[in-house]
Structure 1
Amino acid sequence: MTTPRLLIASLLLAAPLAAQSNGPLVLPASSVAGQPAARPLRLTDGPAARPLAELAAARSGAGRELTALQAWNDAGGLPARAGLMRMLPVARVVEIAGAPAPGAIREHAGGLLATRRGAAVWGGGVRVEEGWRLRLHLSDVQLPAGARLWVFGADGETVGPFGSELVNARRGLWTPSVAGPEIHLEAEIPAGAKARFVLDRVGEIVPESLRSGLFKAGSSCFVDGRCVSKADFPGVDLARRAIAHLEYPSDQVGFIGICTGGLVNDTDTKTTIPYLLTANHCIDDGDTAAGLEAFWDYAPAQCNGAAPSLGRLPRSFGASLVATGRSSDYTLLRLSKIPGGRVLLGWNAAPVGEGTRLYRLSHPGSGTSSIAHPQIYAQTEMDTSLPQAGTWPRPRYLYARQVAGGMWSGSSGSPVLLADGQIVGQLSGAAGSPPELCDFTSAIVDGAFANSFTALRPFLDPPAPCKPGPDTLCLLGNRFRVKVNWQNQFDGSSGSGRPIPRSNVTGFFSFGDPGNVELLVKILDFGDVVKVFWGQLTNLRYNLEITDTGTGRVQSYTNTTGDCGGIDQDFASDLLTAAATSTRVRAASCRSTGSTLCLLKNRFAVEVDWRNPANGASGQGGAATLSNITGTFTFGDPSNVELMVKMIDFGDRVALFWGALSDLDYTLRVTDTETGVTKSYRSTAGKLCGGLDNNAF
C-alpha cells in the first residue's frame, strides 16, 4: 500500500544521518485502514438472549490460575502477566452452512442464527462474573473469503470486523478484547459459503488489583509521559505517536502478557509497512503474534490527568512475526493495520557511546490506578562501569544508569531512543539485587539495535536495485551492480572503470580512455545458479566488485594468473548464498537425533535433506558426531559418508565449513538455537565441492 509520506524536518535531528541509520516517518491523520467499518447486527444484545456460557468470578472459579499469575508477577517474572485463559464448561462447535429465511431468527449452536442481505449471521455470548476485560478463543477455524467477525460488550464497545487475518498456524483465533463481564461474538458468512469454528476458551484480563502485590510499592519516581516537554526530550512528540501498549495471549504458558512496542520505519520510500519493534521475551512465535492487541495513545489528555479507557482508544489487532532472536532480545512484527496519524520511528545502528543520554516512553500496565500513570517517561545514561549480568552480555546489550523517571514490568520491549527519537534498542530489564521500582542503583538493560540490525536489515533497510551510473553497470534486470577500480602499476595512475552497457547480461569497462575496452563482464542465470564470467584485455591491476542487490552479497575479483579473466561458477547459487529466513524458529537447545547434528555445545542444529535425481530416492541425512565442532552425514547407506560439517567460533563470528564426497542434490540447514536464525545452503546434483561461510553467525 502506498501512503503519502511526510519526513520530519532536518532541524529536529541532532546530527546528520549515518550510513546505517534512518529518519522517522509521520503518517497522515486519515486512517490507513480505509472506510468506516461495518457494524454487527448485535443479535445477542437483547434482553431475551442468553449467554451460551457463564463462568464464576476468577477469584473463585480460577483461583489456582490467578494465584499462579500473581506469584509470577511477584517474583519479577517477565513478561508481566495481565490475564488468564479459562475453558468454557462446554466447547461450542459452530457450523454455518446457510441462512434462515429473511426476518427469521433461530437458535443454533448455543447462539442465534439470522440473515442479512443473504449472508448468514451467527451470534453468541459469554458472561464472566466480575470480568474486567474479556477475549474469546476459537479453534479449528475454517472461514471462507469475505467472512466478517465482530465482538462487542454490554456497554456498547464494538471491535471489528476482522477475519482470517487473525487465524494462526494452528487454525486458532483470539478475538480482540472488550470491557466488562460480557463478550458477544458475531460472525457474518457470505451467501452460499460454509464456515466452522469451535468456541472453547475465554481470555480474562484482570484489573491490576488482582495481578500483583508489588503494585502497592512506592512509585514516586514515575513521570507522566504527558508532562514531558521537548526541553526534556526533543523527540517526545514522535515517540507519543509511535509507542503502543501491547496485550497478547500466549497459549504456551496459558496467560495473557503485557509489554510495550514501537513502530519503526524502513528505508523503502515506495511502500509503508507497519513494522513494530518489541522484545523477544515478550513475543517469540507467530501464534502469539497473531493474537496481539496494540493500543495507541494510552495517555491522559493532560498532564497528570485521568487514564483513558482502553475501549475508547484506537487499536491494532493481529500481527505476523517477521524476525526474532534472543541474542539481543529483539522481535520485529508486521501489524495487520494501524490507525492514522502514527509515526514510524527512525533508527540508528551505530554503537551507542559512553555517556549518551537515552529516552523512553512506555506503558507499565493497564488500568493504572495503582501505578498512577498509563504512560511513563524515563531518561538514562550509558555507563560502561555498571556490572554486567551474565545473561545480557555486552556489546549485545546496552547498560545505562537511571537519571529520571522509571519503568515497570509492562515497559518490557519499549524502544530506547536518542534525543531525536531514533531507536537504538528495546528494553530487556533491570540488573540489580533485586531492582526496585525507583532503584537508581540498578542498571537498565536494553537489547542493542546495533547487534539486532544484521537480522533486521533485510526488512528495515532492504537492498535497492542497481541504478546505472557513470561508474556502475547494471545486469540481469538491475539485480546485479558491477563496479571496477583500476590502478596503473607502471605510472601510479588510478580510477574507476567507465561502464559500456552491451545487453541485459553483458557489459564492458574502459580504464580512462573510453575508446579502449579493458574488461568484459557477463552474468548468466542458469536457474539454480548464477555465474559470473569476466575477460580482460589489460595487464593493469583492477578490482571487480559485483553486488547481488537481492541478497546483499558482495564479491570482489582481481587479476587472474596470466591476466586472462575468470569464471565464478557459483556466485549467486543457493550453495554459497546464505540468507537468513524471515520465519524464525523458537530458540531452544539442540537435541541430537538420528538426523540432527548438534555442534558447539549444542548451540547449533545441523540437518541435511538429500535427493538422488537418477532414481528419485530422497531423505534426511543420517547424522553422526565426531567432536564438539565436527560431524558427518550419510545419505541412505550408514557406511557411506557423503558430507562432513565443521563449525568454529572465532569470538566475533562463527564460521561454517562443509566438505562433500557426493554429487547428489542436497540442502544443508543450520539453526542457531540461541537466536533462532536458520540458514540454508544448497548444492545441486553434479557438484563435487563443499563450501565455506566465513560469517555464518
Structure 2
Amino acid sequence: MKASNTAWAALPLVLALAGCGGGSGSNNSTPSTPETPVVPSADRIEPFDPSGTAKAQAAPAAPVHAAAGPQATRTVALGALAQPKAAAAAQPGVPLQIGTARGVQDTATVAATAALLRWQPTAHGTQVAALRFTAEGAHGVRLGVLVQALPAGAVLRFYGTMDEGAVEIGADELRAVAERNAQGGAPDDAARTYWSPDFGGPQTTLEVEIPAGAQAAAVQLAVPRLSHFTVAPAAAEEAAFAKVGESGSCNVDVTCRPEYLDQSRSVARMIYVREDGKSYLCTGTLLNDAQSSGTPYFLSANHCISTQAVASTLTTDWFYRSASCGGSGVNPATTRLAGGATLLYASATTDVSFLRLDRPAPAGIVYAGTYFGGVQAGQVLAGVHHPKGDLQKVSQGVVLRYSTCSGEWCTNSDDTNGTFLTLGWQQGVVEGGSSGSGAFITIGPRRYVVGQLFGGTSSCENPAGVDHYGRFDTSYRTAIKNWLNPGTP
C-alpha cells in the first residue's frame, strides 16, 4: 500500500506502511536550511571524536592466523540450495533478510562432530583440529556452533581461507556469552550457540585448539546448522541483490556530502542471525555518553534486535562507503567488527534497541551526540544509512508530525502521546536495510541523533511517501539515560 505526503495534513488518520525503511526515491528539490533551535545544553550530549587520543592511536592488534594444516582439516560439503530465493522486499517493522538456515547432518550431534575431528599436535605443544564447511553458491556462511563443553584454555577460530586473518574466541568468552544469552531468556541450545562471522564466500572453517595436556574428548560441540547467505552483504556491485549498488541513483552518496562525514563515522551496517538461523541487515549508530567514556553504546531498532541471543550474533561494518564521490570502489578503510553485543534496553513503543558492543569500536570512529529536547514540525533532519546494505548514503527530510506506530499502521498523534517522528523527504529517502538508522538534527555547528528508523511508504516511484522514526527523547527518558547520563533526574 502506498501513501503520498503531498498534502499530508489531509491524509487519513491511519497510514499503512509499505516497507521497512521505505524505498530509494528522490526528488531533486534543494533542502531548506533548518532554523537553529535555541536549546539548553542539558537537553543534549555532545558528539565525541577520540582522534588524537592515546586510545585512538594505539597500534592495531596483529591478525590471528590459522594453526591447523591440511592434515588437521576435514571438509563438510553442502550442495547448492534447491531453489534459492531472491531477497524479498522488506515489510514494515521487518528487517531485510539476506540468508536462510540449512541443517548440517554430518555435524548435527556432538558424537558425529567428534568423529570428524582429526587432531594434530602443533609446534608449541597444543592440539588442533579443523572442519571446513562449504555451501555451494553461498555469498557467505555463518556457522551455528553449539558448545556443550570445552576444556579450560581452549580456543575457537573462524576463517575463510588459510591466507586470511582469523576471528578468535576463547572458552571463557564463549561461556560468558552463553550465560548472558540464558539470562536474556534464550532456551539452552540457543543460549549455547555461537554464530561465527561470515567471510564473504561459500566456505567458513572452524578450528579448535586445546592446550597441552587437555583431552580431545573434553571438546563437546556440534554444528547442527549454518546460515547460507543468498545475497552478498559485503559486495555492493553484486547484481544478485536487486538495488544493491543502484541506490545511489535515488539516494545521495555520503562521500559527496563531506559535511556529513563525522556522522558517517558513527554509523555501521549490521549483519546478524536470528534464532531460526536466518540472517538479516540493518543499520545502527554509535552513541556518546555524558562522560565521553568511549563505551561503545549502539542504537538501532527493536524490530532488528530485541533479544540477547540475537545481539550476541551481531557483526558491524564501519566506514563502508564509496572511496570517492560517485565512484563504485569501496573505501579501503572499511572495517568489520565481530564479537556481538550486550542488549541493554529494547522497546516496541519507540521501536528502539540499545546495545553495548562487546568489543571496542575501531579506531577512527566518532561517537554521535544525542538530543532529547523537543523536535517540532518543519524542522529538517538527515538520515545516514545503508539502504539495501549498500554503501553509505545520506537523505534529508522534514518533520511533518508526531505519530504512534504498531505493526503495519501509524496513526497521527501529538508531541504528548506520539512516540514516532514522521518525515517527508526532500532529498533521497530510505529503504530496507536502512532500518534502525539514526535521524540527525542540526543545532548550531553540530548534529545530534533524535530517532531511529522504523519504516514507511517512500520509494523511487513514490518519493512523496513518508517514513517514521522512533523518538529518542522518549526512549532516553524512559531508560537510556541510565547508561548515557546516569544520576540525572
Name the TM-score class by shorter chain.
Answer: 0.7 to 0.9
* 1:642-679 Cα distance to aligned partner (Å, 9 max, x none): xxxxxxxxxxxxxxxxxxxxxxxxxxxxxxxxxxxxxx
Residue in structure 2 matched with residue 645 of structure 1 by the alignment = none
Q: Which amino acid aligns with 1:381?
A: V
Q: CA deviation at 1:175?
A: 0.7
Q: Which amino acid aligns with 2:220?
A: R
Residue in structure 1 matched with residue 252 of structure 2 by the alignment = 223
Match of 1:85 among 101, 116, 122: 101
Tell whether the 8 Å contact from 1:82 to 1:211 is kept in structure 2 after alignment: no
Residue in structure 2 matched with residue 300 of structure 1 by the alignment = 322
Q: Which amino acid aligns with 1:250?
A: R
Q: CA deviation at 1:457?
A: 1.1
CA–CA separation in structure 2 for the residues paired with 1:447 and 1:385: 10
Taking a change above 3 Å as real, the CA distance of residues 50 and 159 of structure 1, as seen in their structure-2 partners, is closer
CA–CA separation in structure 2 for the residues paired with 1:296 and 1:216: 17
2:276 aligned with 1:276: no
Match of 1:379 among 385, 393, 396: 396
2:457 aligned with 1:457: no
Match of 2:208 among 168, 182, 187: 187
2:452 aligned with 1:426: yes
Structure 2 unaligned regions, length at least 5: 1-35, 183-190, 233-237
Q: CA deviation at 1:18?
A: 2.7
Residue in structure 2 matched with residue 413 of structure 1 by the alignment = 436
Tell whether the 8 Å contact from 1:350 to 1:450 is kept in structure 2 after alignment: yes
Q: Which amino acid aligns with 2:395?
A: A
* 1:287-340 Cα distance to aligned partner (Å, 9 max, x none): 000000111111111112224399963324311110000000000011011211
Structure 1 unaligned regions, length at least 5: 1-12, 96-106, 231-235, 369-373, 465-551, 553-697
Q: Which amino acid aligns with 2:120?
A: A
| Residues 483-494 of structure 1 aligned to structure 2 (within 5 Å) | none
Q: CA deviation at 1:387?
A: 11
| 116-125 or 172-181, larger mean C-alpha shift | 116-125
Match of 2:342 among 278, 295, 320: 320
Q: CA deviation at 1:361?
A: 1.1
CA–CA separation in structure 2 for the residues paired with 1:180 and 1:214: 20
| 170-179 or 118-127, larger mean C-alpha shift | 118-127
CA–CA separation in structure 2 for the residues paired with 1:38 and 1:392: 51
| Residues 67-466 of structure 1 aligned to structure 2 (within 5 Å) | 67=85, 70=87, 72-73=88-89, 78-91=94-107, 93=109, 109-116=115-122, 117-154=124-161, 156-163=163-170, 164=174, 166-167=177-178, 168-169=181-182, 170-193=191-214, 194-207=218-231, 220-230=249-259, 236-252=260-276, 254-269=277-292, 271-308=293-330, 313-337=335-359, 338-366=361-389, 368=390, 374-384=391-401, 390-391=409-410, 394=413, 395-419=418-442, 420-430=446-456, 432=457, 435-437=458-460, 439-453=462-476, 454-463=478-487
Q: Which amino acid aligns with 1:173?
A: Y
Larger radius of gyration: 1
| Residues 673-688 of structure 1 aligned to structure 2 (within 5 Å) | none
CA–CA separation in structure 2 for the residues paired with 1:127 and 1:426: 37
Tell whether the 8 Å contact from 1:242 to 1:343 is kept in structure 2 after alignment: yes
Q: Which amino acid aligns with 1:84?
A: T
Q: CA deviation at 1:36?
A: 1.7
Residue in structure 1 matched with residue 12 of structure 2 by the alignment = none
Q: CA deviation at 1:162?
A: 2.1
- SS of corresponding position for 2:105: strand
Tell whether the 8 Å contact from 1:22 to 1:346 is kept in structure 2 after alignment: yes
CA–CA separation in structure 1 for the residues paired with 2:245 and 2:317: 25
CA–CA separation in structure 2 for the residues paired with 1:310 and 1:133: 20
CA–CA separation in structure 2 for the residues paired with 1:50 and 1:189: 15
* 1:479-534 Cα distance to aligned partner (Å, 9 max, x none): xxxxxxxxxxxxxxxxxxxxxxxxxxxxxxxxxxxxxxxxxxxxxxxxxxxxxxxx
Task: Tell me the number of residue pairs that the alignment of Structure 1 and Structure 2 aligns.
Answer: 417
Residue in structure 1 matched with residue 46 of structure 2 by the alignment = 23
Q: CA deviation at 1:137?
A: 0.8
CA–CA separation in structure 1 for the residues paired with 2:351 and 2:452: 8
Q: CA deviation at 1:123?
A: 1.2
- SS of corresponding position for 1:154: coil
- SS of corresponding position for 2:475: helix
Q: CA deviation at 1:150?
A: 1.9
Q: CA RMSD in A?
A: 3.2
Residue in structure 2 matched with residue 41 of structure 1 by the alignment = 66
CA–CA separation in structure 1 for the residues paired with 2:384 and 2:43: 24
CA–CA separation in structure 1 for the residues paired with 2:246 and 2:262: 31
CA–CA separation in structure 1 for the residues paired with 2:140 and 2:300: 23
CA–CA separation in structure 2 for the residues paired with 1:77 and 1:17: 34
Tell whether the 8 Å contact from 2:159 to 2:204 is kept in structure 1 after alignment: yes
Taking a change above 3 Å as real, the CA distance of residues 353 and 248 of structure 1, as seen in their structure-2 partners, is same
Q: CA deviation at 1:37?
A: 4.2
Residue in structure 1 matched with residue 77 of structure 2 by the alignment = 54
Q: CA deviation at 1:143?
A: 3.8
CA–CA separation in structure 1 for the residues paired with 2:104 and 2:441: 47
- SS of corresponding position for 2:328: coil
- Structure 1 length as normaliser, TM-score? 0.55
Tell whether the 8 Å contact from 2:320 to 2:334 is kept in structure 1 after alignment: no
| Residues 469-508 of structure 1 aligned to structure 2 (within 5 Å) | none
CA–CA separation in structure 2 for the residues paired with 1:275 and 1:360: 19
Q: Larger RCO: Structure 1 or Structure 2 (Cα < 8 Å, ≥ 6 residues apart)?
A: 2
Tell whether the 8 Å contact from 2:255 to 2:261 is kept in structure 1 after alignment: no
CA–CA separation in structure 2 for the residues paired with 1:197 and 1:33: 36
Q: CA deviation at 1:35?
A: 5.9
Taking a change above 3 Å as real, the CA distance of residues 43 and 460 of structure 1, as seen in their structure-2 partners, is same
- SS of corresponding position for 2:330: coil
| 109-118 or 196-205, larger mean C-alpha shift | 109-118
- SS of corresponding position for 2:42: coil
* 1:127-157 Cα distance to aligned partner (Å, 9 max, x none): 1112211111111343455433221113733
| Larger helix percent | 2
* 1:459-482 Cα distance to aligned partner (Å, 9 max, x none): 111117xxxxxxxxxxxxxxxxxx
CA–CA separation in structure 2 for the residues paired with 1:265 and 1:144: 38
Residue in structure 2 matched with residue 99 of structure 1 by the alignment = none
- SS of corresponding position for 1:237: helix
| Larger strand percent | 1
CA–CA separation in structure 2 for the residues paired with 1:15 and 1:218: 36
| Residues 608-647 of structure 1 aligned to structure 2 (within 5 Å) | none
